[in-house]
Amino acid sequence: MTSLLHPPSFALAANEGNHLLLTSTQRATIDVFVLEEDIVRVRVLPEGVARGPRTWAIAPGLDDVALEGRDRLDTSGFTRPTFKLDATPAQLRIETQQVRLTIMLAGGYCAWEIRHGDEWRAVLQDRATQAYNFGWWDERVYHYVHRMPGEMYLGLGERAGSLDRANQSYRMVNVDAMGYSAKTTDPLYKHIPFYLTWRKDAQLGYGLFYDTLADCTFDMGRELDNYHGHYRHFVADHGDLDYYFIASPATPLAAVKRFTWLTGRPALMPKWGLGYSGSTMSYTDAPDAQRRMGEFIERCREHDILCDSFHLSSGYTSIGPKRYVFNWNRDKFPDVDGFVQGYLEHGVKLCANIKPCLLRDHPEFEQAARDGLLIRSRDGEPAWVQFWDEIGAYLDFTNPAAVDWWKAHVTDALLRYGIASTWNDNNEFEIWSPDALAHGFGQPYPARETKVLQTLLMMRASRDAQRAHAPEKRPFLVSRSGAVGMHRYVQTWSGDNSTSWETLRYNLKMGLGLALSGVSNIGHDIGGFSGPAPEPELFIRWVQFGVWMPRFSIHSWNDDGTVNEPWMHPHLTQCVSSLLKLRYRLIPYLYQLLWDSTMRYEPVLRPAFAEFPDDPGCYAESDDMMIGASLLAAPVVEPEQTQRQVYLPAGANWVCYWSGEAFEGGRSVTLPAPWDQPVMLIREGSVIPLNVAEQHFDQRGDRRAFMVVPSRGDARVAGRCVEDDGESEAWRRGEFGEWLVSAQGEAGTLAICVERAGSMPRTQSIVEIFVPAGESRRVSVKTGSLAGEEQAGGWRKLVIDLDTKKT
Q: Domain segments of the chain: what residues? A: 10-262, 605-683, 703-801
**Within 10 Å of residue 613's Cβ, how many Cβ atoms?**
21
Give residue-wise pLDDT tens across range 204-230.
999 999 999 999 999 999 999 999 999
Domain 605-683 = CATH 2.60.120.10: no
Rounded to 5°, the CA angle 606-235-61 comes to 45
Residues of the chain with pLDDT under 70: 1-5, 806-807
**CB 77, CB 263: distance < 8 Å:** no
> Distance between CA atoms of 515 and 493, rounded to whole angstroms?
12
Q: Which of 99, 143, 144 is nearest to 123 (CA)?
A: 99
* Angular region, 214: left φ>0, alpha ψ -120 to 50, beta rest: beta
Residue 584 backbone phi and psi in degrees, to 5: -65, -30
Q: Which of 110, 132, 137, 105 is nearest to 123 (CA)?
A: 110
> Distance between CA atoms of 154 and 518, rounded to whole angstroms?
12
Give residue-wise pLDDT tens across range 692-729.
999 999 999 999 999 999 987 777 899 999 999 999 99
What is the gyration radius of the CA atoms in the chain, in angstroms? 27
For CA atoms 426, 427, 432, 435, the dihedral sign is positive
**Within 10 Å of residue 763's Cβ, how many Cβ atoms?**
7
Superfamily of domain 703-801: Golgi alpha-mannosidase II (2.60.40.1180)
Cite the DSSP H helix spans in 560-674.
573-600, 608-611
Q: Which of 535, 564, 534 is nearest to 552 (CA)?
A: 564
Identify the pLDDT of residue 1.
Answer: 46
Buried b (16+ CB within 10 A) or exposed e, 376-391: beeeeebbbbebeeee
DSSP helix/strand/coil, 456: helix
**CB 775, CB 755: distance < 8 Å:** no
**CB 393, CB 357: distance < 8 Å:** yes
Identify the pLDDT of residue 5.
Answer: 64
Q: Which of 692, 614, 612, 613 is nearest to 654 (CA)?
A: 612
Beta bridge partner(s), residue 778: 749
> Distance between CA atoms of 29 and 13, rounded to whole angstroms?
10
> Distance between CA atoms of 383 and 394, rounded to whole angstroms?
8
Q: Which fold has domain 10-262?
A: Immunoglobulin-like (2.60.40)
> Distance between CA atoms of 627 and 609, rounded to whole angstroms?
13
DSSP helix/strand/coil, 539: helix
Interaxial angle between packed helices 289-303 and 336-345, expressed in degrees from 0 to 180 and rounded to the nearest 10: 10
> Distance between CA atoms of 2 and 11, rounded to whole angstroms?
20
Buried b (16+ CB within 10 A) or exposed e, 22-31: bbbebebbbb
> Distance between CA atoms of 359 and 367, rounded to whole angstroms?
13
Residue 609 backbone phi and psi in degrees, to 5: -70, -20
Residue type, 349: K
> Distance between CA atoms of 662 and 654, rounded to whole angstroms?
6
> Distance between CA atoms of 294 and 305, rounded to whole angstroms?
15
Where is 785: in which H helix or E strand?
strand 785-792
> Distance between CA atoms of 712 and 564, rounded to whole angstroms?
45
Residue type, 168: Q
Identify the pLDDT of residue 609.
Answer: 97
Q: Please give the full DSSP string across 324-377, using - where no structure is assigned.
A: -TT---TTT-S-HHHHHHHHHHTT-EEEEEE-SEEETT-TTHHHHHHTT-B-EE
In the 3-class helix/strand/coil scheme, how is 612-643 assigned residue by residue?
A: CCCCHHHHCCCCCEEECCCEEEECCCCCCCCE
DSSP helix/strand/coil, 514: helix
Taking the CA of residue 558 as centre, how many other CA atoms within 13 Å lie in the half-sphere pointing to its CB? 21
Same fold: 10-262 with 605-683 = yes
Which pTM was predicted? 0.97
Residue type, 184: T
> Distance between CA atoms of 646 and 624, rounded to whole angstroms?
7
**Number of residues that make up the chain:** 807
> Distance between CA atoms of 250 and 237, rounded to whole angstroms?
35
Q: Which of 165, 160, 227 is nearest to 194 (CA)?
A: 165
Where is 756: in which H helix or E strand?
strand 749-758
